A and B are shown apart, each in its own frame.
Chain A
Amino acid sequence: MSYELPVPTPGTHTRPFWEGTRAGKLMLPRCQDCNRVHWYPRFICPHCHSANLEWIEGSGEGTIHTFAVQHVAYGPWAKHAPFVTAYVDLKEGDRMLTVLRGVDPAKPEDIRVGAKVRVEFEAGSDDVHIPFWRVVEG
């Protein structure tokens, strides 16, 4: 079945990320001067403003920073509501937005801030595979 949800158009400087997703890797931008990982991808490091950036393969591990249950959604997401969105603290630092898998939207009280999550990818198109995060440990 083809993917029906919104798929982003890769930007000019984010191709390594999307190429990574096709290979099942979570590629992250890191500054070679201050060694910090940042998200979303920048043209210069948001911490020290260096233009010396590289892509590294992330662990794909993180924890839930906070979450919400979307009961109202529009467009192709509408028929998937309710679903759980979350901000995930990456093991390497900084934070990603996602839709959580492995949780019950009807039982938000069972979802724990700080719970461990792991990334997985779903093909949105031939070029772009979308990262989603799954709760692996309550």
Chain B
Amino acid sequence: MPGALFKAAAIVGAAEANEIGFLKTPVTSLQLHIEAIKNLSEQTGVPISRIEGVFSTGWSSELCEHLGIRPKYIDTTSVGGCSFEMHVHHALAAIHAGIIDVALVSHGENGHSSRSIGGRGMGNYGRGGGVASPAVEMTMAYGIAGAPGAYAHAMVRHMHRFGTKREDYAHIAKVSRDWATLNPRAAMYSKKKHPFGGPITVAQVEESRLIAWPLTILHCCMVTDHGGAVLIASPKVAASLNTKPVWIAGAGESMGHSNMLEMDDFTATSARASAEAAYTMAGMGPSDMEMALVYDSFTITAAITVEMLGLARRGEGHLLWKDGHAAPGGKFPINTNGGGLSFNHSGMYGMPLLIEAYRQLSGTAEDGINGDKGKQTSARTCVVNGTGGSLSTTGTLVLVADD
């Protein structure tokens, strides 16, 4: 039996900034936010002034000020890339409680542009100061530069435990690129769009430059510019709009650790717990899901996540891609936008997951950009999982199409 919050709210629209990817003219994170919110308002017909709750990472108050919103509900949850899945969870609860009817979840991050102009957007969930945190004090001496250097440890342990080879995970990168070639908005859509774009082979993934062994660069996500926003509404408001609702059937969140030093099991994440909460609320299980959108900061992230979501047995997550099920035309599509590996990843990837889930389940996955069927699937249910930090935090949503 579904929980009390089952379908208490719907995602009623999803939009992105005007331009995303490796932008030639640098943009600020705020601009990416605002463009996406404006596009969302136009798509849904919901005036910005009607937004009652604002959910974002550190940005919520600045967004309200910029937009002239006097919110009834403010949320600044900022625990990494999965924050946006948690925002949806929190908005669902706030709507169910009757505090608000219309919630904005917004993301803007100039991960690429910040290299030339700097700016907020990377580091809202940073590592904190050395003296203040004993975890940092005891790890900062050892030269791990960023996420790839950390996640590589999980991949080695996963391979050790399950006897897999790096090449097994390379299929995830290859298949995600196949999806990106169907998505004109993907940064790696084609060679014309990006010198390294277009189809890739497993061998190319394996032979690309090493970043943190065993991760080669094609096992790693990109760092691009991205902005996006979704609107969450009560059933009553949803019924009054012209856009299709995508129902939030289940939501859950959890965390295993903050610093990877505290990761108990390097082959598992808290997605098992957050997914269990989401499935329970939905009154559904993994076998009811028809597609998945999972955070793929690295190939190993996606492999572990599908195992945690109950979509594959432990140690066999990669087979969904290797056997072609996750690929275009396969029986269980995964990461149909091309993923953080080949679509976009600005540092925090939770929002693109939400946008693609909305598009798939509302039948607008091509956005009319190129007029052909492209990446649209026939799925009516989708499990979405964001992962933040160093395999630290997770937010899971079970979304279903309107009847």
Q: Which residues of A contact B (CB under 8 A)?
A: 5-14, 39-42, 65-74, 77, 80, 82-83, 85-87, 95-99, 105, 108, 113, 124, 130
Contacts and interface: CB of A to CB of B under 8 A. Distances in A.
Nearest to A7: B141
Interface in B144-170: 144-145, 148-149, 152-157, 160
B144 A67 contact: no
A17 B261 CA distance: 17
For the complex of A and B, the 6 pairs showing the least CB-CB separation, nearest first, are: A68-B152, A77-B143, A69-B213, A66-B157, A40-B138, A71-B210
Contacts of A85: 142-144, 149, 153
B369 interface: no
A117 B212 CA distance: 22
Interface in B187-225: 209-215
9 contacts: A8-B140, A10-B131, A11-B137, A41-B138, A72-B148, A73-B149, A77-B145, A85-B143, A105-B213
A113 B260 CA distance: 17
B145 A72 contact: yes
Contacts of B214: 68, 108
A39 B212 contact: no
A1 to B, nearest CB: 17
- Which bucket holds chain B's interface residue count? 35 or more
A68 B143 contact: no
B312 interface: no
Contacts of A97: 138-139, 142, 144, 260-261
Contacts of B152: 68-69
Q: B131, B142, B261 — which one has the most chain A CB atoms within 10 A of its CB?
A: B142
B64 interface: no
A73 B153 CA distance: 15
A107 to B, nearest CB: 10
B130 interface: yes
B141 A130 contact: yes
